[in-house]
Amino acid sequence: MPAAEKSCFLVLGIETSCDDTAAAIVRRSEDGGCEILSNEVWTEHDDHAAYGGIVPEIAARSHVERIDATVRRAVTKSGITFDELDAVAATAGPGLVGGVMVGLTTAKALCLAHGLRLVPINHLEGHALSAGMTEDAAFPYLLLLISGGHTQLLWVAGPGQYRRMGTTIDDAAGESFDKTAKLLGLGQPGGPRIQEAAVGGCTDRFKFPKPLEKRAGCDFSFSGMKTAVREAAEGLIGPTGQDIADLAASFQYAAARHLAQRTANAMNMVETTETAPRLVVAGGVAANVAIKQMLQELCTEKSWRLIVPPPKYCTDNGAMIAWAGAARLAAGITLPAEQAFAMAPRARWPLAMPPDGGKIGGGRKGPKA
Ligand code: KG4
Ligand code: ZN
């Protein structure tokens, strides 16, 4: 049945763009409600631990070894059969191309074997719509997308309707947590390790920079903060546990302050007549408690409503990919089958371009996000 004639969708979502092998089954009901029937995530942190960061070749191999079992578990736990599915949604980029290839190829094979529709999904759209799974996040909303590879402010008007307002000019927020954690010898993934280490630390012992504070707009910069942490750590002779806690707390505070300051600028730029406009935060870094607290203070001050999905839907997961697929099916904005099957994995895939064509946040191979 064509998408437009149907409004309830049962979708398998597959996510393999970084170091999580994930699959989930989600049902989108006629009234737009979401039911997550299963959500399997197999994280590869141990596979990469010895290297201090994610190694693309190891990630790709791990996805190959785990994808079948992960999908099987998601289907079994959901209690449904393949025949009941309407579609398979899979991340087609942006991300580590070897991993994306594993998930997308698996999705194509499943669709061919079971006669299902294929819905390729932009990973960033998965994050962008993720709040709708568990919260009442009506469109339009301002989205602060903070993950390991991306840091952006977007105006989200609906599935497929994004306007990028700001992006990072260097490191992503999650990347700066990961690099800082590595520098402090805290291990990976850096975000949760910094958050843990910061408990009992002093947020104002080290005065880290306020990047772009005097620059209008809402772009971000995290590389100076990372350098400042390194210089402060190098200035300590034989750092104690308390020193590390203070460095972690001061860095986390500075990162949260920067995110809040740029988000405040974006709020001022948004033209809305709503009495309580919505700020949605998504991506792995949205799991950070200190960042959530500071954004809550900002929202209270400006009379905005803060919406943050539970941590397991902030970090990479298959449910958000299935949900984005269901949202596209419901909106009737999926690709024809031949185009969907012809789609190749993409390392880079901007979700929305700013009016200037994306000069900021660009790179040798095109815009990062
Ligand atoms: O969205 P995600 O799972 O993957 C990407 O699409 O990148 O985000 C992963 C990032 C990592 O950089 C990780 O350190 C960060 O999210 N992260 C956190 C926290 N939990 C995960 N950063 C700060 N605080 C956390 N609690
Ligand atoms: Zn992600």
What separation in Å is there between the alpha carbon of 191 and the centre of ligand 1?
Answer: 6
Question: Which residues are CB-neighbours of 31 under 8 A, at least 6 positions away?
Answer: none
What is residue 295's predicted lDDT score, i.e. its pLDDT? Answer: 98
Average pLDDT, whole number, for the chain?
Answer: 92
Query: Does the predicted TM-score (pTM) go above 0.75?
Result: yes
Q: Decide: 124 and 94 in contact? Cβ < 8 Å.
A: yes
Query: Residue 57 above 90 pLDDT?
Result: no
Ligand 1 and 99: CB distance under 6 A:
no
What is residue 362's predicted lDDT score, i.e. its pLDDT? Answer: 45
Ligand 1 and 330: CB distance under 6 A:
no
How far is residue 33's CA from residue 51's CA, in Å, rounded to a whole number? 42
What is residue 361's predicted lDDT score, i.e. its pLDDT? Answer: 46
Q: How confident is the model at residue 238 (pLDDT cuts 50, 70, 90)?
A: confident
State whether residue 282 is helix, strand or coil. strand
Domains of the chain, with CATH numbers?
9-132+313-349 (3.30.420.40), 139-308 (3.30.420.40)
DSSP class of residue 186 equals -
Closest of 8, 24, 42 to residue 80, by C-alpha: 24
Ligand 1 and 309: CB distance under 6 A:
no
pLDDT 10s digits, 92-111 = 999 999 999 999 999 999 99
Residue 85 vs residues 72, 82, 100, 243, 363: alpha-carbon distances, Å: 14, 5, 22, 53, 39
Q: How confident is the model at residue 359 (pLDDT cuts 50, 70, 90)?
A: low
Closest of 100, 92, 158, 101 to residue 120, by C-alpha: 92
Helices (H), 49-201: 56-78, 97-114, 123-129, 173-183, 190-198
Please confirm whether the linkage preceding 189 is cis (ω < 30° from 0).
Answer: yes
What separation in Å is there between the alpha carbon of 147 and the centre of ligand 1?
Answer: 5
Counting beta carbons within 10 angstroms of the beta carbon of residue 49, is it exposed (0 to 12), middle (13 to 18) or buried (19 or more)? exposed
**Cα angle 325-309-122, degrees, rounded to a multiple of 5:** 30
**Atom of ligand 1 minimally distant from the CA of 173:** 12
Ligand 1 and 149: CB distance under 6 A:
yes
What does residue 106 show for φ and ψ, rounded to 5 degrees? -60, -45
Which protein residue has the closest C-alpha to ligand 1 atom 16? 284
pLDDT 10s digits, 239-276 = 999 999 999 999 999 999 999 999 999 999 998 888 89
Q: Which residue has the higher pLDDT, 187 or 257?
A: 257
Q: Decide: 232 and 180 in contact? Cβ < 8 Å.
A: no
Query: Residue 353 above 90 pLDDT?
Result: no
Query: Residue 1 above 80 pLDDT?
Result: no
What does residue 21 show for φ and ψ, rounded to 5 degrees? -95, 115
What separation in Å is there between the alpha carbon of 185 and the centre of ligand 2?
Answer: 24
pLDDT 10s digits, 112-163 = 999 999 999 999 999 999 999 999 999 999 999 999 999 999 999 999 999 9
pLDDT 10s digits, 222-234 = 999 999 999 999 9
Ligand nearest to the CA of 44: 1
How far is residue 22's CA from residue 103's CA, in Å, rounded to a whole number? 9
What is the distance between the terminal CA atoms of the chain, rounded to a whole angstrom? 34
What is residue 188's predicted lDDT score, i.e. its pLDDT? Answer: 85
How far is residue 328's CA from residue 27's CA, in Å, rounded to a whole number? 13
What is residue 143's predicted lDDT score, i.e. its pLDDT? Answer: 98
Question: Which residues are CB-neighbours of 41 under 8 A, at least 6 positions away?
Answer: 20, 21, 22, 312, 315, 316, 317, 318
Ligand 1 and 288: CB distance under 6 A:
yes
What separation in Å is there between the alpha carbon of 362 and the centre of ligand 1?
Answer: 22
What is residue 142's predicted lDDT score, i.e. its pLDDT? Answer: 98
Ligand 1 and 39: CB distance under 6 A:
no
**Atom of ligand 1 minimally distant from the CA of 311:** 20
Neighbours of ion ligand 2 (CB under 5 A): 147, 316
What separation in Å is there between the alpha carbon of 311 and the centre of ligand 1?
Answer: 10
Ligand 1 and 16: CB distance under 6 A:
no
